[in-house]
Amino acid sequence: MTATKGAPGRIRIIGGQLRNSRLDVPELPGLRPTAERVRETLFNWLAPVISGARCLDLCAGTGALGIEALSRGAASVQFVERDPRVAQALRDNLSRLKAAGGQVSTADALAFLQGPPQPFGLVFLDPPFAQDLWSSLAQRLEQGGWLAPGAWIYVESPRAAAPTLPSTWLGHREGAAGEVRYALYRRAPVVS
């Protein structure tokens, strides 16, 4: 998928303080920004919980999800992007927009999740579709101490392939747009 509406290589923030701001998007193979319509639906779902949230944008790409979260009142977003060019474009966009609270790590998502855990209340899980990383990333998030009690997890995947996710992730809402399936999960309390 290429950048939606607007000039090629640019996408727009659709809500909050940065509404209508444009993000410059490097034109690289496999970079697939989340469509505006999907982001609008997702953030309508998240409206009651986004204010003050600590977020993790894993496999951040353009950072559209995390920047949208900052725009709508999230306290902080940790962006993780392995491609140095994409990570630099993300840093440049955060700086240009004066979006406080965003921190970018240039790292592979699986390697990042091997580090010391920090629990997040909201995680965006939208890995490159060709790499089939949903299940392994989900397991590391769940078992590695990266999810706060009652955390929300957004998962974007191909419509035809539902990923295997931890049983503690309870489906809250889902939808589809074109070839993309998007779903919001709530982490159930872990009973010991």
What would the pLDDT profile of 113-133 be if each residue is shown by its tens digit?
A: 999 999 999 999 999 877 788
The pLDDT of residue 7 is above 50: no
pLDDT-derived band of residue 6, with 50, 70 and 90 as boundaries?
Answer: very low
Give a yes or no: residue 3 inside a domain. Answer: no
Beta strands in the chain (DSSP E): 10-12, 22-24, 54-58, 76-81, 102-106, 120-125, 147-158, 169-177, 180-187
- Expressed as residue numbers, the domain containing 149 is 10-187
What is the pLDDT at residue 160? 86
The pLDDT of residue 177 is above 70: yes
Give a yes or no: residue 183 inside a domain. Answer: yes
What is the pLDDT at residue 35? 78
Q: What is the largest CA-CA distance in the chain?
A: 52
Cα–Cα distance, 92 to 96 (Å, whole number): 6
Q: What is the CATH number of the domain that holds 93?
A: 3.40.50.150
Which residue shows structure tokens 């840093």? 91
The pLDDT of residue 55 is above 50: yes
What is the pLDDT at residue 115? 94
**Count of domains in the chain?**
1
Cα–Cα distance, 68 to 13 (Å, whole number): 6
What is the pLDDT at residue 191? 60
